[in-house]
Structure 1
Amino acid sequence: MTERKLSELTDKELLQEAKKMKSNSIMNAVLIGFLAGIIIYSVVKNTLGFLTLIPLFLAYKLVNKSNHNKQELENLLKERNLK
Structure 2
Amino acid sequence: MKQKELTELSNEELLQEAKKIKSSKIFDAAIFGFLIGVAVYSTVRNGFGLLTFLPIIYIPIAAKNKARNKALEGLLKERNLN
Give me the TM-score of the superposition, normalised by structure 1. Answer: 0.83
Alpha-carbon distance in structure 2 between the residues aligned to 1:74 and 1:35: 28
1:52 is aligned with what amino acid?
Answer: T
Q: Which runs of 4+ in 1 moved over 3 A?
A: none
Give per-residue Cα distances to partners, 1:1-32, cap 9 Å, x unaligned: 43210001011100101112221221111111
Alpha-carbon distance in structure 2 between the residues aligned to 1:46 and 1:7: 48
Alpha-carbon distance in structure 1 between the residues aligned to 2:65 and 2:3: 17
What's the counterpart of residue 5 of structure 2?
Answer: 5
Contact 2:42 2:48 in 1 (8 A): yes
Report 1:1-83 matches (<5 A).
Answer: 1-45=1-45, 47-53=47-53, 55-83=54-82
3-state DSSP class of the match of 1:45?
helix
| Structure 1: unaligned runs, 5 residues or longer | none
Alpha-carbon distance in structure 1 between the residues aligned to 2:63 and 2:2: 23
| Structure with higher RCO (Cα < 8 A, 6+ apart) | 1
| Structure 2: unaligned runs, 5 residues or longer | none
> Shift of the alpha carbon at 1:70?
1.0
Give me the TM-score of the superposition, normalised by structure 2. Answer: 0.84
What's the RMSD between the two structures over aligned residues?
1.6
1:65 is aligned with what amino acid?
Answer: K
